[in-house]
Structure 1
Amino acid sequence: MPRISGETLQQHREQLQRRVFEAFADLMAERSFDAITMAAIAERADVGRTAIYHHFPDKESVVVAFASHETEEYLHRLRDDLAEADDPATRLRLYVRHHLAEGERFHMGLGPQLYGVLGPDSRMAIRQHVVAVEDVLRGILEAGTTDGSFTIEDLEPTMSLIHACLSPRHLPAQTIESFVLRAVGAAGPG
């Protein structure tokens, strides 16, 4: 009889999922995705080698579930941060700050290098999570363009360029923030 942790089956599943995600994140920090096996994830998560397959059929499903979980957490914290501001310039400033502060944790290895080893369905599922984050930025930029806070000629390339600016970790956050705000015509104190 398998042992159940938690008071309910739902709690058991949530605890198991959390352990699997923590194990997966730890393993991704140590090695490449190709070098990670379901057995290694199960061992690190302290889950039986066969039990893990009851929840995740393969490691691609772990990646997709992990990305979904991380995106939901990221968006929840982002929306909490954005709730503090009404005007688009302040919201953009908060978006940039949040993205830079959380970027290392949120993007841990789930970038283009991982997409190359995932199947098309998994890539599409992960892309949907990226779109959810992009939608928040799109809403900020559209509101700022509508109320005259920003000068943006083409929204999609502007979004891509903003996200590209948020990638380098060797620049000070204030430098990146100032550059992004000047790029959309919203420079000023913040």
Structure 2
Amino acid sequence: MPKIEASTVAEHRAMRERQVLGAAADLLLSGGSSALTPAAVAAAANISRTSIYHYFPSGSDLLLATLEYLMEQSVAELEEAMQAAGPTPLEKIEAYVRASLSSATAGYCAGIIEPQDLPADQCGRLREWHDRLLAPLIDAAEGCKAPDSPLAAHLVQGMIDAAARAIADGNDRQEVTETTVTLLRAAFSNPHAGR
């Protein structure tokens, strides 16, 4: 029987699962979904290849769990950034953008997998995480009196995704971030322009 490295078997399993997910996240961010093989994750997590299947029975289960692990971190970071921001909704949106783009230097989740990488029945769980990710942005857009706050939040997220791709392509992160924030300030300062 393997040595238990925590006070209970449940704690040991949870600790080992986080270790596996951390290694898998690093591989996914650096090499995409094709890098996420059981052998590679096992080697990176310093466990046996067969042990991976005790935690994640299939490759798609491992991929989904890894994406959820990354999304959980993103949600926590964004919520923390928005709570630390100034009191106005626009300041909260700026904090959301800055926090999102600061992660672009370490690796960015958007577009990292193709839709066919996950079975259709697992895509719903990922959509729930995306909804959680956008929820505070929708609230802030509503506070800015955006005509359609869910649409505004999706458009802001689209700008963040485009900005993250620009950073990944070698553009200066600070310059891309400031340009994005400047455009968003203009948009939210006069949400009814042209109506």
Distance in 2 (alpha carbons) for counterparts of 1:166 and 1:97: 9
Structure 1 residue 104 displacement after superposition: 4.7
Distance in 1 (alpha carbons) for counterparts of 2:31 and 2:98: 29
Q: Which residue number in structure 2 is paired with residue 173 of structure 1?
A: 177
Q: Which residue number in structure 2 is paired with residue 56 of structure 1?
A: 56
Letter in 1 for 2:132: A
Equivalent pairs counted in the alignment come to 180
Asked if the contact 2:20/2:42 (under 8 Å) is kept, the reply is yes
Q: Which residue number in structure 2 is paired with residue 122 of structure 1?
A: 122
Higher helix proportion (structure 1 or 2): 2
Letter in 2 for 1:180: L
Structure 1 residue 134 displacement after superposition: 0.8
Runs of 4+ aligned residues of structure 1 deviating over 4 Å after TM superposition are: none
Gaps of 5+ in 2: none
Structure 1 residue 140 displacement after superposition: 0.8
Q: Which residue number in structure 2 is paired with residue 68 of structure 1?
A: 68
TM-score (norm 1): 0.81
Q: Which residue number in structure 2 is paired with residue 97 of structure 1?
A: 98
Structure 1 residue 68 displacement after superposition: 2.2
* 1:15-164 to 2 correspondences below 5 Å: 15-84=15-84, 85-105=86-106, 107-108=108-109, 111=111, 113-145=113-145, 152-164=146-158
Structure 1 residue 138 displacement after superposition: 0.5
Q: Secondary structure at the match of 2:71?
A: helix
Distance in 1 (alpha carbons) for counterparts of 2:29 and 2:129: 21
Letter in 2 for 1:78: L
Distance 1:95 1:27, change over 3 A: closer
Distance in 1 (alpha carbons) for counterparts of 2:81 and 2:14: 26
Gaps of 5+ in 1: 146-151
Quote the sequence identity (%): 24
Letter in 1 for 2:155: L
Distance 1:160 1:124, change over 3 A: same
Distance in 2 (alpha carbons) for counterparts of 1:30 and 1:77: 20
